[in-house]
Amino acid sequence: MNGWQDDFFVGWSGRLPRQHAHYLRATFVSAVLIFLLLALALARATDDPGTGVVDWDAGEKTLRGIATTQPYPLLHLADGHTLMMSGPTQVGPDLDPALDGKMVEVTGVMMKRGTLDMLQANTPLHAAAGQAVVPQPVPLGRWRITGEICDGKCYAGSMRPGAGIAHRACANFCLIGGVAPVFVSTAPVEGSSFMLLGNAAGGPLPDKLFDLVALRVQLEGELERRGDLLVFKVDLSRAKVPW
């Protein structure tokens, strides 16, 4: 009789039977553990946004170097370092095509992620005194590389790039504005996982680029080094999406 009374539930008593209480406690603890494990699994499956940094603390820097415009604006410094450039918003830098191959001066803020450097040019590039000798590209052969196409500015640190539709829309917005595209390879190539993209002739990429952004894609083309920057010249009509 006592056991039957212990298991009997009376709503107004404010007390659950012992067996029901044990069951509910076990269910609550199990649910919490399951949700914690799911959260951990989702966190591990999410792409690491990386450690891109805009060096705001260092303030603006005025740099002098040789400007080139193909496939996208570059600044070749005297120490052999080559910088990609963007404008102050989601656009390319203000560079007069007549300054191609000339010594220029520009003021801006540095962005960096790993071996990828970009200068956010806050002023138009203007001619500067000095001898301009454009560094010659060093051919590195033909490659087939798998990776992801991103916009150089966000990936270099202007934002923390994610994945999926939001990342693709944001990257395309910058690319349409003239920001240089970069290819982030799944494994290092010639010491770097980042390379500037251009078409097979060395010019800017066609609009087909926008359909391939933020996807795992396989590209094939000629790789070359300009200063310390890798440039991957590809034919997007041969691009493959492995999965």
99 shares its domain with 150: no
Within-domain flag for 7: no
Do residues 122 and 155 both lie within one domain?
A: no
Q: What's the mean pLDDT when you consider all of the chain?
A: 86
Based on the domain organization, do 110 and 196 belong to the same domain? Answer: no
Query: Positive or negative CA dihedral for 227, 229, 230, 236?
Result: negative
Domain check: are 148 and 187 in the same one?
yes
Structure confidence by residue, pLDDT tens digits, 108-124: 999 888 778 899 999 99
Q: How far apart are CA 133 and CA 166, in angstroms?
A: 42
How many domains is the chain built from?
2
Q: What domain range includes position 110?
A: 53-127
Per the domain annotation, does 178 fall within a domain?
yes
Tokens of 153: 């500015």
Q: Which of 104, 127, 150 is the last residue of a domain?
A: 127
Residue 3 inside a domain? The answer is no
Residue 60, Cα to own-chain centre: how many angstroms?
23
Binning the chain into helix, strand and coil, the percentages to the nearest 5 are 25, 35, 35
Same domain as 231, residue 176: yes
Q: What is the CATH number of the domain that holds 86?
A: 2.40.50
pLDDT per residue over 170-188, tens digit each?
Answer: 899 999 999 999 999 999 9
**Do the domain assignments include residue 105?**
yes
Q: How is residue 76 written in tokens?
A: 């070749």
155 in the same domain as 72: no
Residue 218: Cβ within 10 Å count: 14
Looking at the fold, whether 92 and 143 belong to one and the same domain comes out as no
Taken in order 43, 49, 51, 57, the sign of the CA dihedral is: negative
Q: Say whether both 158 and 222 belong to one domain.
A: yes
Give the least confident one: 11-20, 128-137, 201-210.
Answer: 11-20
Residue 154 and residue 87 share a domain = no
Do 88 and 143 belong together in one domain?
no
What number of other Cβ atoms are within 10 A of residue 83's Cβ? 23
Domain shared by 194 and 103, yes or no: no
**Confidence at residue 187, expressed as pLDDT on a 0 to 100 scale:** 92
**How many whole angstroms separate alpha carbon 143 and alpha carbon 218?**
10
Same domain, 112 and 88: yes
pLDDT band, residue 28 (cuts 50/70/90): confident
% of the chain surpassing 90 pLDDT? 59
Higher pLDDT, 98 or 167: 98
Last residue of a domain, one of 127, 156, 176: 127
Among 48, 68, 182, 69, CA closest to 118: 182
Of the residues 96, 127, 158, the one at which a domain ends? 127
Coil, helix or strand for 70? coil
Cα–Cα distance measured from residue 65 to residue 22, given in angstroms and rounded to the nearest whole number = 74
Percent residues over pLDDT 70 in the chain: 81
- Lowest mean per-residue pLDDT among 50-54, 123-127, 154-158: 50-54
Residue 15 located in a structural domain: no
Q: Does pTM top 0.85 for this prediction?
A: no
| Spatial distance between the Cα atoms of 143 and 232, rounded to a whole number of angstroms | 9
Residue 7: phi and psi, rounded to 5, are: -90, -5
